[in-house]
Copies of this chain bind each other. A is one copy, B any other.
Amino acid sequence: MALLSVLTPVLVVILCLVIGFMLVKSREPETTSTSQDKTKAASKSEFRPWVDQDLQDDTEITAREDEDDDWVDNEQDLPHVPYSHQRYTEETMLARSQEFYTLMNQRRSVRFISPEPVPREVIDNVIRTAGTAPSGAHTEPWTFVVVSDPEMKHQIRLIVEEEEEVNYRQRMGDKWVRDLAKLRTNWIKEYLDVAPYLVLIFKQTYGILPNSQKKTHYYNEISVSISCGILLAALQNAGLVTVTSTPLNCGPQLRLLLKRPANEKLLILLPVGYPAADATIPDLKRKPLDDIMVHI
């Protein structure tokens, strides 16, 4: 008992230490995880806000209630009309498909664009053509912003180059062996000033119903990309060139600059014009048919 009595103060001290430790400990995990989450969220949103927003637009919403797998499903209430069709002979089909392949196979991404003016009517026609693309539930979720105003083109260039420079400088940490002069040519986008037209393709991630509720645009990114494919075909058919670019991280700034509404997000930016007289292209090859097609 005497021994215990002597130990009592020691026990009290231990008790205090244990309780203190417990209090610290019980707060620690929460605090740590919260701050970690915050750090994660913050670094994510700072690093690539546009991409993270896209995630939600396309996929979270897409797969909920109305999984329209055929893209015309919810038009079933529209009256049906006979489909009139242009049918060719087998020989004609073969010839047409061969000619179209030859034409499209001459398409290349060209970054050296001539400042020569291009008739506005041709641009109107290629945008009209892009608008014939199919879209999920026929929502036609695209806006083509055609910029020919020199000051606006320059503003776009400043925004794109600023983001590009950040991207390239961040890479330099890892790839320090690279030549600075060589990198520099990569974030300078002269064609944004020079090309007679910049076509900025926005996807409408949702629509607004008359009762001002949001209307989900299913598969909007796929639809708009398909439309872009038809636009590229139309440009090539008209003898114009472009380079397909996806200006990462510039989306929100360019949207504000061009005064587009909040439901629109920049997907693709195409400078459009004739090629410069001395335009060059990388000497790349395309995969042969057997590498891209499997027949069963």
Query: In whole angstroms, what is the CA distance A82 to B260 when docked?
Result: 38
Query: With an 8 A cutoff between CB atoms, is A46 at the interface?
Result: no
Q: For the complex formed, measure the closest distance between the CB of A115 and the CB atoms of chain B, giving whole angstroms.
A: 15
B239 touches A72 (CB 8 A): no
Task: Quote the shortest CB–CB distance from A143 to chain B (angstroms).
Answer: 6
- Considering the complex, give the chain B residue whose CB is closest to the CB of A25: B26
For A1, list chain B residues within 8 Å (CB): 5
Query: Which bracket fits the contact residues of A?
Result: 35 or more
The reply to whether B245 and A70 form a contact with Cβ atoms under 8 Å apart is: yes
Instruction: Name the contact of A237 in the complex, choosing from B8, B96, B289 (C-beta under 8 A).
Output: B96
Interface residues of A in 66-85 (CB under 8 A from B): 66-67, 69-73, 75-76, 78-83, 85
The listed residue (B82, B234, B296) touching A100 by CB distance below 8 A is B234
**Chain A residues within 8 Å of B, Cβ to Cβ:** 1-2, 4-5, 7-9, 11-12, 14-15, 18-19, 21-22, 25-26, 29-30, 33, 47-48, 51-52, 54-55, 59, 62-63, 65-67, 69-73, 75-76, 78-83, 85-88, 90, 92-94, 96-98, 100-101, 104-112, 119, 121-122, 124-134, 136, 138, 140, 142-149, 152, 160, 164, 167, 171, 174, 182, 185-186, 219, 221-222, 225-234, 237-241, 243-248, 258, 267-268, 274-275, 278-284, 286-287, 289, 292-296
